[in-house]
Amino acid sequence: MALTTLPTAAFATGSVGTSQLADGAVTTEKLKADVNFRNLIINGDMSIAQRGTSVTGQTGSGFTTVDRVRIATGAGCTFTISQATDAPTGQGFTKSYKVEATTGDASLGSGEYNFPVVMYFEGQNLQLLKFGTSSAESVTISFWVKATVTGTYILELRNDDNARYVSKSYTINSSNTWEKKTITIDGDTIQGFDNDNGRSLSLNFWGGAGSDYSSGTLQTAWTSNTDANRAVGQVNAFASNNDVWQITGLQLEAGTTASDFEFLPYDVNLQRCMRYYEILQATDTYDTILATWNRNTSDMGATLNYKVIKRAEPSFSFSSGNTFRMNTATGDHTASSISSSNPTIYTAQINIIASGTPLTAGQAGYINMENGNGDAIIRMDAEL
């Protein structure tokens, strides 16, 4: 039997014992399973949903509910997207990402498409794959999937730095039944990924493809893009009203076999998601959001320190200005507007404007939720 050289670290951590060596129980795959963060997917168990647990009437592309998961659609469908509590029994999962066509599209135009899931990766997190060299690693993608429409589906990887693609098919055999799928894709020896915080790789799950994307021959090896070869054989997953496609347990890892899903503690998973998106929210009038100071008689300022350093300078969005209440020694005042300025990857300035001139310059204060006007929300978006 061929012997595998074991790293010294494996002995140092006590994970490899004499009995394991004696009975041949130690394999490369078992050692890989002991490596933390081997899953390049963030939030693959679909447990984090900072934006909310359900969105209805979705007709365009974007991030909606479950963190790090994006829908991309260019067809005539309307969707309800949710973080569902339906998950495979006995596998450790409690949530899934669910896409339901409230309005289906039975006849896709030539240039129309649906991707229920698109996931993006930073280039600096992909260097371990050694793409662009003769040592390029294969990658294995495993996941649990459930769909109304059975048949052939296409999964696609796209090198966004160099416009190179590869597609693989999988089959959904039974309608509305959880099934586990495993797909292995050879590494690309021709082109690698930029070593930076930009988007270098996309993982795309097709849910429908017009003839512009399906009339050729499926490109099952890395190659420069030909649109017609990207989704050959793909069924129309959202042809009818109430057609559903959902997923959980999504893992992408180096190697030719799938290891068990890497469950992370909830707090660790949340912090990893916050690198890309963070929300600061007051749902009660006693929830203090930020400490402030009065710049003048109408303008209150605050420094917002993010809970997690962002991937890039985030963009900000806010609930309506009048959902925020300004509290100072002179009393409580409803804000008329709120905005951000000077964002970095660490902090940003928040500016709150009062109606009229009720403030006293130089006083300290704080902001929270204005009772009855809805939740006070600050959103920070640094998505790829």
Predicted local confidence at residue 330, as pLDDT: 87
Decide: helix, strand or coil at residue 174.
Answer: coil
pLDDT in tens, 138-184: 999 999 999 999 999 999 999 999 999 999 999 999 999 999 999 99
DSSP string over 364-380: EEEEEEPTTS--EEEEE
Domain boundaries, the chain: 54-274, 277-381
Residue 81 in contact with residue 58, Cβ under 8 Å? Answer: yes
Q: Which two tokens stand for residue 142?
A: 């495993």
Res. 25: pLDDT tops 70: no
Instruction: Give me the mean pLDDT over the 360-381 stretch.
Output: 95
What is the chain's mean pLDDT, rounded? 93
* 335 contacts 266 by C-beta, under 8 angstroms: no
Pairing of strands 139-147, 78-84: unpaired
Q: According to CATH, what is the number of the domain 277-381?
A: 2.60.40
- Express as a percent the part of the chain with pLDDT over 90: 89
Q: Closest Cα partner for 375 from 251, 285, 271?
A: 285
Percent with pLDDT over 70 in the chain:
91
Q: How is 247-306 classified by DSSP, letter by letter?
A: EEEEEEEESSSPPPP----HHHHHHHHHTTEEEEEE-STT---EEEEESSSSEEEEEEE-
pLDDT at 103: 98
- On whether the CB atoms of residues 247 and 143 are closer than 8 A, the answer is yes
Q: How far is CA 158 from CA 213, 236, 296, in A?
A: 14, 21, 52
User: In what helix (H) or strand (E) does residue 157 lie, and over which residues does it extend?
Assistant: strand 151-159
**Domain 54-274 class in CATH:** mainly beta
pLDDT digits (tens, 9 = 90+) for 301-333: 999 999 999 999 999 999 999 999 999 998 999
- Whether 231 and 206 have beta carbons less than 8 Å apart is answered as yes
Type of residue at 90:
G
User: Helix (H, G, I), strand (E, B), or coil: what is residue 127?
Assistant: helix
Do the Cβ atoms of 86 and 45 come closer than 8 Å? no
